[in-house]
Amino acid sequence: MSEQSAQQMREVVDSVYRNESRRVLATLIRLLGDFELAEEALHDAFAAAMQQWQRDGVPANPRAWLVSAGRFKAIDSLRRRARFDASQTELARQIEADNEEAAPGEDEDVEDDRLRLIFTCCHPALPPHAQVALTLREVCGLTTEEIARAFLTTPTTVAQRIVRAKAKIRDARIPYQVPSRDALPERMDSVLRVVYLVFNEGYSASFGESLTRDDLSREAIRLGRLLVELLPEPEAMGLLALMLLHESRRSARFTSAGALILLSDQDRSLWDIERIAEGGALVERALLSRRFGPYTLQAAIAAVHAEAPSADDTDWEQIVGLYDVLARVESSPVIELNRAVAVAMHHGPAVGLAIIDAILERGDLLDYHLAHAARADLYRRLGRNGEARIAYRRALELTRHQQQERQFLEQRLKELPG
């Protein structure tokens, strides 16, 4: 094997790993019934691929090859361990029997192992923070360090959450399956929340050199589509619509140099009209059901922005009205802040500023950089440049890993007169 051919094969295997490893892992977890065993089998399968694909060529279906190789590697590993633990022999036999008996065309609601995996990771027996960490690790492939940076905690804490979650799944015998239709609605809330968190991490990456991670956004949208197919409930449609409408603006959000562009300043000809149309249709379906919730309302707000031919033509009255409904459905300081920005656009910056000041005065969002950035912008629009400067500096102090936001705020600070 020449050095050049070995390097080429490493690049091929690396590419397959990036594109297929999480799907392969999800299937191996289903086949083997154990997270740790499946992860070990995944790495063994890719190690085998490095050797055999160099000799025999890349198979027509690399994912199927890797699943098969991983399964056999796991069984071999269990048999070797059986020399020290007889229970491993029975486990190996059981895995072989289960795989032989499984019908390849089994009639299920959705034939997707990653969807089964996300329902397992989001099981209500697990704490919410563990659901998020486990999903990002096992479904999306983020490292513990990346998850820790995304959620401002330590890698050790994230690792402990993941280990405990896996132990809980194993010890409580949590099934690796999509719940029955009767139990599905009550399980959807946690799944939708985690899918949206994954999308947000892809839409505005909180770490790393990339401004965004479109692989995560694509995966969240794919999971969203599967959820709508599985259970076409209004909030599943609303979440998918919300993600599509946000994603439609991806190419207009940054300059070629990587500088952040506000929604009002974006080149709307760069927006993806197909995603906007699909998202808008989903919003209409969800709203007509009259059983919608916060995702649908947020999607409706995004749709109003998307339908406006220009920033000046935005229907701010409708947006404020939607925020009023959203605040009643799911009240939170961040929703109040977003409503305040909309109110400022409709009724003037002084009215919006009063709302933000009231939020901060009661102690909410004091450490949230976007609250201070919004306050600074309203001071700027009112010509109160000294107060704007203080607010921009506070926002900068609180902006940690978001380099593009820091650059934007620094530029706004420089542009202030005086």
Number of other CB atoms surrounding residue 202 within 10 Å: 23
Q: How far apart, in Å, are the Cα atoms of 192 and each of 99, 220, 266, 331, 350? A: 31, 10, 29, 18, 36
Instruction: Give φ, ψ of 269 to 5 degrees.
Output: -70, -15
Query: CA distances (Å), 28 to each of 93, 159, 292, 348, in order?
Result: 16, 21, 36, 57
Cα dihedral 154, 404, 248, 320 sign: positive
Q: What is the pLDDT along the chain (418 residues), one digit of tens a residue?
A: 555 477 888 899 999 998 889 889 999 998 888 898 899 999 999 999 998 998 889 999 999 999 999 998 888 877 776 555 555 555 556 555 555 544 444 334 334 788 888 889 999 899 988 998 998 888 888 889 888 876 768 999 999 999 999 999 989 988 888 888 777 777 888 889 889 988 887 787 655 555 567 778 888 898 899 889 877 889 999 999 999 999 999 999 988 888 889 999 999 999 999 999 999 999 999 999 988 899 999 999 999 999 999 999 999 999 999 999 999 999 899 999 999 999 999 999 999 999 999 999 999 999 999 999 999 999 999 999 999 999 999 999 998 656 788 889 999 999 998 7
Report in angstroms the alpha-carbon separations of 350 from 366, 368, 387.
Answer: 20, 21, 13
Place of tokens 């969002």: 365
Ranges of H-type helices in 142-233: 144-150, 155-171, 184-203, 214-230
DSSP state of 138: I
Domain ranges of the chain: 3-101, 112-231, 315-418
Interacting residues of 323 by C-beta distance below 8 A, sequence separation 6+:
301, 335, 338, 339, 342
Q: Of 3.40.1580.10, 3.30.360.10, 3.40.50.150, 1.25.40.10, which CATH number belongs to 315-418?
A: 1.25.40.10
> Is the CB of residue 394 less than 8 Å from the CB of residue 372?
yes
**Angle at CA of residue 97, ends 96 and 100, nearest 5°:** 85
Q: How far apart are CA 167 and CA 163, in angstroms?
A: 6
Q: What is the CB neighbour count within 10 angstroms for residue 336?
A: 19
For the entire predicted model, the pTM comes to 0.77
